[in-house]
Amino acid sequence: MNMLGNNNELKKEGQLNLDYDKLPQHIAIIMDGNGRWATMRNMPRTVGHRNGVKALRNIIRTSSDLNIKYLTLYAFSTENWKRPKSEVSALMKLLIEYLRKEIGDLNKNNVKINTIGDITRFPENVLHEINIAKSLTNNNNGLNVNIALNYGGRDEIVRAIKKIGQELLTNNITINNINEELINNNLDAPETPDPDLLIRTGGEYRLSNFLLWQCAYTEFWVTDVYWPDFTENHLIQAIYDFQNRNRRFGGL
């Protein structure tokens, strides 16, 4: 049974009357506010991250139940290495734990796991779990979850330009072949359409280097709610608001 059908919390869904023919195809989320969530409770920041994983589990399940096609989740940015070593390694540990614990259920639910970002910088044990998750779910055709790890929009564009430069040097392409499509094809998830909706929790009105190229015409939705407190009701509210936006793409 679809979890949306028998959850009391989700009465709101009925009130909000989502239009199931106009769901966003791709939702991207900046999962921010874990640290503040914990600090507010006089707890170490890592407790916030741990509770953030619970929210993550819930949002992946809800997105899958709603038949959303693509979900891109900002988990670790190229700038997050600036944080204390202890916090970075706690995040790595959580990622391993999450993948180990959840991959079976994700696979059963037909979720396909992918990553964006330069994961070569991650330790061997993290890479190992990521590779298992990717290969186990590779043939699934339900919800596509892209986890952004050591991801930066600028870094992604730089790496794309390097690949294109290589093609030029080896005369596989000429300058005239460089267009938006070619650039897109050299980004980290070329088969994923641009996000329709970008959600940011934690109240900041900025991109923080997330999906710079892809967000050209994405609708933004920001909430003050910290990520560990983000529920399916918030997700449904965001989708509802999205459905009432007027996307013009520069036209009339």
**Quick one: 32 or 102, whose CB is closer to Mg ion?**
32
| Active-site entry in 7, 58, 80, 109 | 80
Q: Which does 223 bind (CB under 5 to 8 A by kind): ligand IPE, Mg ion, none?
A: none
**Quick one: 75 or 164, whose CB is closer to ligand IPE?**
75
* Assigned token pair, 232: 């399916």
Q: Which does 36 bind (CB under 5 to 8 A by kind): ligand IPE, Mg ion, none?
A: ligand IPE
Catalytic status, residue 139: no
Q: Tell me which residue has its CB nearest to Mg ion.
A: 32
Q: Which does 80 bind (CB under 5 to 8 A by kind): ligand IPE, Mg ion, none?
A: ligand IPE
Beta bridge partners of 145: 71, 113
List, in sequence order, the alpha helices (H) in the chain: 11-16, 34-39, 45-65, 85-108, 124-137, 153-169, 180-185, 232-243
* Assigned token pair, 173: 């392409």
Query: Residue 32, SS3?
Result: coil
Applying CB under 6 A, the residues found at the interface with ligand IPE are: 30-36, 74-77, 80, 91, 202, 204, 206, 208
Contacting residue, 13, 32, 155, 188, with Mg ion by CB under 5 A: 32
Residues 159, 121 contacting (CB under 8 angstroms): no
Residues 65, 95 contacting (CB under 8 angstroms): no
**Quick one: 30 or 187, whose CB is closer to ligand IPE?**
30
Catalytic status, residue 146: no
Separation of alpha carbons 202 and 32, rounded Å: 5
Residues with a catalytic annotation lie at 32, 80
